[in-house]
Amino acid sequence: MVMHRGNKPNQHARVMIIEDDEDILLLYKDYLKRKGHTIIVSSTTADEALRDYDDYKPDLVIVDFKLPGQKNGLQAASEILTKHSRAKILIITAFDHVREEMDEAGLSRKNVTILIKPIKLSHLSEIVSRLSYEQQHPA
């Protein structure tokens, strides 16, 4: 069993990625697949994220903050959490103000984690493993 920081087992998760930039999507997908995770590529809009979540029931959702259409990644996270209160969501963004918007939207930091770009892929992998562990082994 592979161990990482915190001495928790490295969890292989079902990860849904909602990202409209094809290059970033492929980067995350390929890297996380090499780490043993099952990757589900979702649609690129927040409007379709809830439907895709219902269809695939992933352990974790990685969503970009800035998405095409009328809604952003925080709104997608909020919709998913309204229906699935135990969902784990990782929002990746270049905008630091998203933390404040998350607090204003009343999103729980237990369920939503934010990474500010630029990110290291190794850090992304550690967070995916930690969040999937928490999803699969609730306290």
Which residue shows structure tokens 């087992």? 9
- Angstrom distance (rounded) from CA 89 to CA 77: 7
Structural domains for the chain: 9-136 (3.40.50.2300)
pLDDT tens digits, residue range 54-96?
A: 999 999 999 999 999 889 999 999 999 999 999 999 999 999 9
Q: Tell if the pTM clears 0.85, that is, is over it.
A: yes
Residue 42, pLDDT score = 79
Q: How confident is the model at residue 11 (pLDDT cuts 50, 70, 90)?
A: low
pLDDT tens digits, residue range 12-61?
A: 899 999 998 999 999 999 999 999 999 998 777 888 888 899 999 999 99
Residues with Cβ within 8 Å of 50's Cβ and at least 6 positions away in sequence, in order, are 76, 79, 80, 83
- Angstrom distance (rounded) from CA 139 to CA 136: 10
pLDDT tens digits, residue range 95-132?
A: 999 989 888 888 877 799 999 999 999 999 999 999 88
Residue 92, pLDDT score = 95
Residues with Cβ within 8 Å of 69's Cβ and at least 6 positions away in sequence, in order, are 45, 46, 47
> Cα-atom radius of gyration of the chain, to the nearest Å?
14
